[in-house]
Amino acid sequence: MEHYALKLREHSLKATPQRAAIAEALDTYGHLSVEELYEILRKKFASLSLATIYKNIHIMLENAFVSEVKLPGQKSVYELTKEAHAHLQCTNCHTIEDIALDMECLLSQAKTKTDFDVQTANLVLSGLCKKCR
């Protein structure tokens, strides 16, 4: 847990036990919705509310400790902020996987081909995973 506390402080976040537990859960499972985080964390913190998770995720987003992954037709999930990458979404079992694509290349192409000032990208590729195929 100390490892996560340290990481939180690196992002100017106060390292509360709940926040460290959120960080640990995201590190373990990769991508989780607020509801899924709540299900995992309430086993540890009996008095925890869904609103507390929302509040913490919101602050962690502001400090770029976590990133939001917006999924078509599904609730947003959250992950620990890492290098820009795309996501694979299984439309059957709803698993989310990271895929290292050259996002820099994509962004620079978008910039040269349009007058649009692209700031962020949220690339989700949908299909069927190995198990569901």
Among 17, 25, 11, smallest CA distance to 59 is for 11
Q: From the CB of 10, what's the least distance to Zn ion, in Å?
A: 20
Indicate the residue among 59 and 129 with the shorter CB distance to Zn ion.
129
Q: From the CB of 51, what's the least distance to Zn ion, in Å?
A: 25
Q: From the CB of 101, what's the least distance to Zn ion, in Å?
A: 11
Site of interaction with Zn ion (CB under 5 A): 79, 90, 92-93, 98, 129, 132
C-alpha separations of 25 from 40, 60, 79 in Å: 8, 14, 9
Q: What is the DSSP string of 47-78?
A: T--HHHHHHHHHHHHHTTSEEEE--TTS--EE
Q: From the CB of 46, what's the least distance to Zn ion, in Å?
A: 30
Indicate the residue among 48 and 98 with the shorter CB distance to Zn ion.
98
Indicate the residue among 106 and 129 with the shorter CB distance to Zn ion.
129
Can you read off the two tokens belonging to residue 108?
């620079």
Q: 10 Å Cβ neighbour count for 82?
A: 9
Indicate the residue among 110 and 132 with the shorter CB distance to Zn ion.
132
